[in-house]
Amino acid sequence: MSDIKTVAVVGGGIGRSHIVEGYLTNKDKFKLLAICDLDPARMNGLADEFGIERRTAQFDDLLAMGDLDIIDICTPPMVHYPMVMAALAAGKHVVCEKPLVGSLAEVDAVIAAEKQARGRLMPVFQYRFGDGVQQAKAIIDAGIAGKPYVATVETLWRREADYYAVPWRGKWRTELGGVLMTHAIHQHDMLTYLMGPLKSLFGRVATRVNPIEVEDCVSASVELESGALASLTATLGAADEISRLRLVFENVTFESDHEAYSPGNKPWTILPRNDDTRAQIDALLEGWQHVPQRFETQMALFHAALVSGGPLPVTSADSRRALEIVTAFYHSSETHSEVTWPIGPDHPKYESWLPAGA
Ligand SMILES: NC(=O)c1ccc[n+]([C@@H]2O[C@H](COP(=O)([O-])OP(=O)(O)OC[C@H]3O[C@@H](n4cnc5c(N)ncnc54)[C@H](O)[C@@H]3O)[C@@H](O)[C@H]2O)c1
Beta carbon of 88 within 6 Å of any ligand 1 atom = no
Which residue's alpha carbon is nearest to atom 33 within ligand 1? 37
Beta carbon of 75 within 6 Å of any ligand 1 atom = yes
Mean model confidence pLDDT for the chain: 98
Average pLDDT of the segment spanning 19-27: 98
For 91-100, the pLDDT digits (tens) are: 999 999 999 9
CA of 14 to the centre of ligand 1 (A): 6
Percent of the chain at pLDDT exceeding 70:
100
Q: What Rg do the C-alpha atoms of the chain give, in angstroms?
A: 20
Query: Which atom, in ligand 1's list, is nearest to the CA of 14?
Result: 16
For 259-301, the pLDDT digits (tens) are: 999 999 999 999 999 999 999 999 999 999 999 999 999 999 9
Beta carbon of 13 within 6 Å of any ligand 1 atom = yes
Boundaries of every domain in the chain: 5-125, 127-296
Average pLDDT of the segment spanning 37-58: 98
Which residue's alpha carbon is nearest to atom 24 within ligand 1? 11
CA of 206 to the centre of ligand 1 (A): 24
CATH for the stretch 127-296: 3.30.360.10
Give the angle 247-327-150 at the CA atoms, nearest 5°. Answer: 15
Average pLDDT of the segment spanning 330-349: 98
For 190-222, the pLDDT digits (tens) are: 999 999 999 999 999 999 999 999 999 999 999
Closest CA to 58 of 32, 86, 30, 97: 86
Cα–Cα distance, 257 to 308 (Å, whole number): 33
pLDDT of residue 2: 74
Query: To 10 degrees, the CA torsion angle through 1, 295, 41, 213?
Result: 130
Fold of 5-125: Rossmann fold (3.40.50)
Average pLDDT of the segment spanning 241-270: 97
